[in-house]
Amino acid sequence: MSELSEVSDRDLYLSKEKKFRETAFIDFKKKYGIPAETTMEKLFAEVPNTYDAFEDFVSEKHEDVEDDVDEYIGTDDLDSDEY
């Protein structure tokens, strides 16, 4: 395997997180009626507090995914003391 084809865990994580945030931004724009062509940079620069609102939105989406994973693997029924 060549050095160029190796991808670190960090690179994989960052790539997946970037895609997750891009998808979340599309959902964020739909939820709040923001025109589809609006970019993150433009929105965050022009509308106060949208960066923080988007970060909260992304956190909620991450929590939803974690809840789905817990439900899928069956850990959502366990008390936190049982881990």
> Which domain does 31 fall in, by range?
9-77
- 83 residues of the chain, pLDDT tens digit each: 455 567 889 999 999 999 999 999 999 999 999 999 999 999 999 999 999 999 999 999 988 888 877 888 877 655 555 54
Is 53 among the domain residues?
Answer: yes
Q: Is residue 18 part of a domain?
A: yes
Is residue 76 within 8 Å of residue 70, measured between CB atoms?
A: yes
Position 83, amino acid: Y
**Whole-prediction pTM:** 0.72
Question: What does the chain look like in DSSP terms, one character per residue?
Answer: --GGG---HHHHHHHHHHHHHHHHHHHHHHHTT--TT--HHHHHHHSTTHHHHHHHHHHHHHHHHHHHHHHHHT-TTS-GGG-
Tally the domains of the chain: 1
In a domain, 43, yes or no: yes
